[in-house]
């Protein structure tokens, strides 16, 4: 690189991203299924530790990606694509059942009208 900053190794980026993913999964799992033996104070302490780990891993990931222009652009380009895909999927998940229900209702009422007007 022209500015003399060494590029981070890909393995370090992947390990940091994986650690962030694992910490996020554990925090979500702990919130969804808190173990009864841990109790409320223990759950709170473990969550505080996991959230602190997430902040540290996110900071490390950003700092490592920031040093590499290629990794930085690829990371944020892919993240943008993932967010757009999620937006499309969530929008479709909300609108498609509504549309199917509306079409079914319209077809049912049209069939009922057609049956009432048909000679017996």
Spans of all domains in the chain: 1-67, 83-120
CA distance 39 to 44: 9
Please report the pLDDT score of residue 21 as a whole number: 85
Nearest to residue 20, comparing CAs of 42, 52, 65? 52
pLDDT 10s digits, 14-68: 787 888 888 888 888 888 888 888 888 888 898 889 889 888 888 887 777 776 6
Other C-beta atoms lying within 10 Å of the C-beta of residue 42: 12
CA distance 53 to 105: 51
**DSSP letter (8 states) at residue 97:** H
């Amino acid at each position: 690189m022209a500015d003399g900053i060494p590029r981070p190794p890909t393995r370090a980026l992947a390990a940091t991203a994986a650690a962030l993913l694992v910490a996020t999964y554990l925090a979500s799992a702990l919130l969804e299924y808190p173990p009864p033996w841990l109790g409320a104070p223990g759950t709170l302490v473990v969550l505080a530790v996991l959230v602190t780990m997430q902040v540290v891993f996110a900071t490390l990931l950003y700092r490592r990606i920031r040093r590499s222009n290629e990794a930085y652009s690829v990371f944020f380009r892919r993240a943008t694509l993932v967010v757009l895909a999620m937006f499309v999927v969530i929008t479709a998940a909300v609108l498609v059942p509504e549309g199917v229900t509306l079409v079914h209702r319209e077809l049912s009422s049209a069939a009922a009208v057609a049956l009432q007007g048909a000679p017996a």
